[in-house]
Amino acid sequence: MGAVEVRNLVKKFDGSDGNAIDGIDLTAKDGEYLVLLGPSGCGKTTLLRSIAGLEEPTSGEILIDGEVVNGLPPRARQIAMVFQSYALYPHKSVLGNIVFPLKAGRMSKAERETKAREAAAMFEIEHLLDRKPRQLSGGERQRVALARALVREPHVFLLDEPLSNLDAKLRTSARDELKHFQQRIGTTTIYVTHDQVEAMGLGDRIAVLAAGKVRQIGTPAEIYDHPTDTFVATFIGSPPMNLVPRDGHLVGFRPEHLLPVEVVTSEDRARMALAVDRIEYLSGDRHIHGTVAGVGEPTKVIARLPSTVETPIAAGETHDFAVHRRQLRFFDAESGNKTEPIALGA
């Protein structure tokens, strides 16, 4: 129960030139936490709203629990959606908000309240039931919105940037909570964000979208370690993957894999001289911004050294760096798509 499948979905808004969704195929497996990640305007929200039944696709199919749901209204789809704004009813109490989705059904008042209290207990907000939304913190409001979404026992949870109104610290704890609840409840969840840190932390799998298409879908580790193209390689990771041109190819390597040569003990390494422009200290790491001349054309790169690497390095100097060959990635310079490894001189 609860799998979502999207087949060759296209959405073109009236009066716009391109397709907001341009032929998307993807599946969220039963119980999976699937994150839709991509830059602003890539079609994430439109895809989520199409699954919810709030947007009618131009073509293609959407299946929930193996049934085609195109044409079904949102309430007939066994889904619950939580928006960025939470859209709580300001004049109702927390209990009134959570109970509300049950009012359309046939339950007695007492049954409805029992269900609502159970949902509140799930999100540890029983002590807030008499309050109004304005008397809650951002994190508490989020939990009310989730409890309200959960109360109808949906097969699928659709979440659209639910953490974006929270400050950085609360965001981290709310993210952990969300993951914890989802693991406990096991409801298939599709989660939209443009924040890669959130995506990496939450997703069982991540679908990276750009311009209405899926560029790559995979586990956080697959996406990070084996990006399918230069878009994914540079969209994921902070700082992003370094890309250095070489013989019609781009050679890619993560900043944490570019290390002073004396630290890279293997002989199977690509060596490059780094002219150091400046050094930043971030969370104990040294970010070395520099220019490489040793591989292809002079190109700006960043090396991220953990505090365990104590090699003295100063701005204005040139220092030899290296990357293990197995950590090099190769992309076609024209298309940006990943290619087989090419031989590089030492």
Instruction: Pick one of 1, 8, 13, 326: the residue that binds ligand ATP (CB under 6 A).
Output: 13
Backbone angles phi, psi at 243, to 5 degrees: -130, 120
Span 152-211, contacts to ligand ATP by CB under 6 A: 194
Helical ranges in the chain per DSSP H: 44-52, 94-99, 109-122, 138-150, 168-185, 196-202, 220-225, 230-235
Find the shortest distance in angstroms from Cβ 49 to ligand ATP: 8
Cβ-based nearer residue to ligand ATP, 20 or 302? 20
If binding is defined by CB under 6 A, does position 283 make contact with ligand ATP?
A: no
Cβ-based nearer residue to ligand ATP, 27 or 164? 164
Find the shortest distance in angstroms from Cβ 40 to ligand ATP: 3
If binding is defined by CB under 6 A, does position 89 make contact with ligand ATP?
A: no
What are the angstrom distances between the C-alpha of 325 and each of 184, 202, 228, 330? 41, 30, 18, 11
Output b/e per residue, 222-258; b: 16+ Cβ within 10 A: ebbeebbbbbbbbbbbebbbbbbebeebbbbbbbebb
Structure tokens at 227: 């990006």
If binding is defined by CB under 6 A, does position 42 make contact with ligand ATP?
A: yes
Cβ-based nearer residue to ligand ATP, 42 or 120? 42
Task: Give the integer Cα–Cα distance in Å for 269 and 272.
Answer: 10
If binding is defined by CB under 6 A, does position 329 make contact with ligand ATP?
A: no
Instruction: Pick one of 4, 24, 35, 45: the residue that binds ligand ATP (CB under 6 A).
Output: 45
| Nearest Cα residue to 303 out of 322, 318, 284, 316 | 322
| Nearest Cα residue to 98 out of 75, 73, 123 | 123
Encoded one letter per residue, x for contact with ligand ATP by CB under 6 A and - for no contact, window 19-38 reads: -x-----------------x
Q: Which stretch binds ligand ATP (CB under 6 A): 42-50, 162-170, 228-236, 309-317?
A: 42-50
If binding is defined by CB under 6 A, does position 242 make contact with ligand ATP?
A: no
Task: Give the integer Cα–Cα distance in Å for 207 and 226.
Answer: 14
If binding is defined by CB under 6 A, does position 41 make contact with ligand ATP?
A: yes
Find the shortest distance in angstroms from Cβ 99 to ligand ATP: 30
Instruction: Pick one of 16, 108, 238, 265: the residue that binds ligand ATP (CB under 6 A).
Output: 16
Q: Which stretch binds ligand ATP (CB under 6 A): 43-51, 182-190, 251-259, 266-274?
A: 43-51
Which helix (H) or strand (E) element contains residue 28? strand 21-28
Task: Give the integer Cα–Cα distance in Å for 164 and 138.
Answer: 10
Beta carbons of 6 and 162 less than 8 angstroms apart: no
Contact positions vs ligand ATP (CB under 6 A) = 13, 16, 20, 38, 40-46, 194
